[in-house]
Every structure is written in C-alpha cells, then in structure tokens.
Amino acid sequence: MTNETAFRTCLGLNLQASAQTQDGKTPCRSARRIQAFLKALESESDILREQARSIADALGMATGAEAMIALLDIAGLSAEEARALVAETAEAVCDRMLA
C-alpha cells in the first residue's frame, strides 16, 4: 500500500485527538475520497443527491486506508488479498446501491 506509514500515522493522530476531546468525537477530516465519489456520480442523472451521498459514503468506508489497515492487521490478509477484497466490496456496494 503506497503511503501506508503516512496513513497509519494520520489515523493514529486522529484517534488520539478524538480520545482527548470531551465528547469523544473525531475531528472531521477533509473527506477527499467522498468528494471524488460524488464527483464521479454527478453524471448519473437518475441518482438523487441523497442517494449519491449514501453511495459515496459507503464506497468511502469500504475503500479507504482504514479498510486496508483492518484487512491487513485484523484479518491478516496480504496486501494483494486486501486490495482484491476492497475492490470486490466496492463492486458489491455499487451493484447493490445502483441496482
């Protein structure tokens, strides 16, 4: 995974920041991947804005560095296996939510 160390560092800092807040909420990050998915869905005229946001959120959750880290660290998959499962999961999200 390219930039794995940077992603892990960012995730760790974000978790530390949320642990130090009174309400336990994680500070909001830039959500670039969500915006990229929304941009990709703009050309789909038959998708409502709310539906596009739900799809983008689901894809963001399924394809982010957090998903890869969980698959590598918790599931014990190789990087190749994790990438394949992330791709399969993204395809399943699209199949389900765009059907």
CB 60 within 8 A of CB 90: no
Q: How many residues does the chain have?
A: 99
| 31-61 per-position pLDDT tens digit | 789 999 999 999 888 999 999 999 999 999 9
Q: How many other CB atoms are there within 10 angstroms of residue 57's CB atom?
A: 15
pTM of the model: 0.77
Domain boundaries, the chain: 4-97
Classify 14 as helix, strand or coil: helix
Residues 6+ apart with CB under 8 A from 48: none
Q: Which residues contact 26 (CB under 8 A, 6 or more apart)?
A: 14, 15, 17, 18
Residue 25: pLDDT band by 50, 70, 90 thresholds?
A: low
